[in-house]
């Protein structure tokens, strides 16, 4: 007579190895995420562009009380824009340049032959970006609250959605450059784009203050979409414009898809 336990043995035998592989993959991804974070914290140039520059920009322009007429308190206008710049600096500049040089020195080739699959490596890099952005956000928000009297407003969940989409878009752009260009070209391109987005992204200077011929171009950039959506999400009673959100999501799909298609590991 067959017992219920015996009848279910083949399914259990199949399920256990699958669950075990899943747990092993999760542990490997978390271990690689910790390694990515440690390496980022050891690179002085990464700390400069991801932590120090956004904090200095916020303190400088908030102290100058630089704000467009009718935009409210300077810190209310500036904080979302600087948060957007911090997201760009982490995903596009820091991740892009670091990955490009890992590819140049053969680190990615060695990691690609390790038990950690390439998808797991990309996931670990994405998680490390989010970890750094949490630190950035906490620092900038703390500076805004204790230094300039800012108080949280708007929708937390809407802001979180915008941050996730922005992180995906600019991490995708960073990986696209790192996988398709030489390390030196990625270094120049990432820093050059950061300066362009700083000037044309609406983070500090409103887009409608730009010359007419630049406004149309600036309005379709991913930086402007991120800044516009994040500023609306952090405004009391403000609704996130669906156009900016859709544009940001579109850029995320384009950059991530192009990176996955063109990325070279060596």
Q: Is there a domain that residue 57 lies in?
A: yes
Determine how many CB atoms are found less than 10 A away from the CB of residue 81.
25
Least confident window among 94-98, 104-108, 155-159: 104-108
- Domain range spanning residue 92? 12-262
Provide the mean pLDDT of the chain.
85
Per-residue pLDDT, averaged over 154-182, amounts to: 92
Q: Cα separation of 193 and 196, whole Å?
A: 5
- What would the pLDDT profile of 169-207 be if each residue is shown by its tens digit? 999 999 999 988 999 999 999 999 999 999 999 888 888
- List CB contacts of 96: < 8 A, sequence separation 6 or more: 173, 174, 175, 177, 178, 186, 190
1 is a domain residue:
no
Mean per-residue pLDDT for 117-121? 73
Range among 72-81, 143-152, 209-218 with highest mean pLDDT value? 143-152
Q: Is residue 50 a part of any domain in this protein?
A: yes
Q: Per-residue pLDDT averaged across 112-123, rounded?
A: 73
The CA distance from 20 to 125, in Å, is 23
Q: What is the mean pLDDT of residues 63-88?
A: 82
Output DSSP code: residue 90.
I
Q: Does residue 4 belong to any structural domain of this protein?
A: no
**Quick check: is 5 in a domain?**
no
Domain annotation covers residue 258:
yes
Using pLDDT thresholds of 50, 70 and 90, give the confidence band for residue 163. very high
Q: How far is CA 212 from CA 193, 215, 216, 217, in A?
A: 21, 5, 7, 9
pLDDT-based confidence at 12, cuts 50/70/90?
A: very low
Residue 28 resides in a domain: yes
Q: What is the pLDDT of residues 244-265, one digit of tens each?
A: 999 999 999 999 889 888 877 7
> Number of structural domains, the chain?
1
Task: Evaluate whether residue 192 is within a structural domain.
Answer: yes
Mean pLDDT computed over 26-45? 83
């Amino acid at each position: 007579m067959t017992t219920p336990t015996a009848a279910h043995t083949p399914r259990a035998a199949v399920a256990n190895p699958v669950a075990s592989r899943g747990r092993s993959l999760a542990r490997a991804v978390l271990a690689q995420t910790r390694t990515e974070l440690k390496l980022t914290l050891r690179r002085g140039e990464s700390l400069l562009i991801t932590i120090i520059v956004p904090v200095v920009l916020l303190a400088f322009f908030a102290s100058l009380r630089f704000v467009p007429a009718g935009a409210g308190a300077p810190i209310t206008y500036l904080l979302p824009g600087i948060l957007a710049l911090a997201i760009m600096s982490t995903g596009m500049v820091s991740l892009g340049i670091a990955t490009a040089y890992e590819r140049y020195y053969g680190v990615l080739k060695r990691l690609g032959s390790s038990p950690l699959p390439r998808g797991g490596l990309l996931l670990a890099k994405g998680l490390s970006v989010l970890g750094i952005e949490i630190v950035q956000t906490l620092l900038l928000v703390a500076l805004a609250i204790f230094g300039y009297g800012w108080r949280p407003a708007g929708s937390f969940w809407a802001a979180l959605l915008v941050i996730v989409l922005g992180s995906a878009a600019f991490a995708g752009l960073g990986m696209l450059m790192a996988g398709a260009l030489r390390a030196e070209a990625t270094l120049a391109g990432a820093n050059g784009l950061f300066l362009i987005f700083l000037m044309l992204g609406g983070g500090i200077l409103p887009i409608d203050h730009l010359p007419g011929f630049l406004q149309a171009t600036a309005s379709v950039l991913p930086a402007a979409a991120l800044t516009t959506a994040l500023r609306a999400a952090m405004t009391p009673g403000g609704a996130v414009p669906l156009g900016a959100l859709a544009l940001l999501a579109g850029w995320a799909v384009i950059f991530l898809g192009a990176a996955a298609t063109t990325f070279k590991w060596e």
